[in-house]
Copies of this chain bind each other. A is one copy, B any other.
Amino acid sequence: MKRIIGVIGGKRTEKSLLKEAEEAGRLIAQNGATLVSGGLGGVMEAASKGAKAGGGLTVGILPQNDAKEANQFIDIPIVTGLGIGRNVIIARTADALIAVGGEYGTLSEIAFALQMGKPVAGIKTWDIKGVIPAENAADAIDKILAALA
């Protein structure tokens, strides 16, 4: 099976972070991995856009009841109906996470992934012990792939 790498972050995010999310998605695809995200807007959409530009496959773990809430770059919408309870599935499904900015929802995903012992790289995100700080998308990918190797 291919590796699955997650990009997590908020719906409302500053432009510079959206650029990093898009670049992270592109690099995930170019490294032969599948992208998983929460499937909505903001960082999730930017990363999915990047992954599609990089020729990759995108999975969106959606909170509500309808595949139509997925952003336009999601290939595989997983419709959970579990609300933010779906965050644990993003952490479980990913082999590693890249957090880009983000609010409390992102923090819950970081917490779950670290509890599961998975590598989490962070770009301008929560300062939590265990998160690997990264300068930008390229740095985050390098560090994640090294941690998974």
Q: Which residues of B contact A9 (CB under 8 A)?
A: none
The residue in A74, A88, A116 that gathers the most chain B C-beta atoms within 10 A of its C-beta is A88
Q: Write out, one digit per residue, whether chain A residues 79-94 have a CB within 8 A of any chain B CB (1) or not (0).
A: 1111111011100110
A window 27-62: CB within 8 A of B = 34, 57, 59, 61
Choose among B70, B78, B103, B111 the residue that contacts A89 (Cβ–Cβ < 8 A): B78
Q: Within the complex, what minimum Cβ distance (angstroms) separates A85 from chain B?
A: 4
The secondary structure that dominates the A interface is: mixed
Q: Which residues of B contact A115 (CB under 8 A)?
A: 84, 103-105, 108
> Measured between alpha carbons, how far is A116 from B108 in the docked complex, in Å?
12
Size category, A interface? 35 or more
Known: A104-B112, A104-B115, A108-B115. A89 touches B83 (CB 8 A): no
A78 to B59, Cβ gap below 8 A? yes
Q: Within the complex, what minimum Cβ distance (angstroms) separates A81 from chain B?
A: 4
Q: Which residues of B contact A126 (CB under 8 A)?
A: 128
A93 to B77, Cβ gap below 8 A? yes
* A residues lining the B interface (CB < 8 Å): 1-2, 4, 34, 57, 59, 61, 65, 67, 70, 74-85, 87-89, 92-93, 103-105, 107-108, 110-112, 114-116, 126, 128, 130
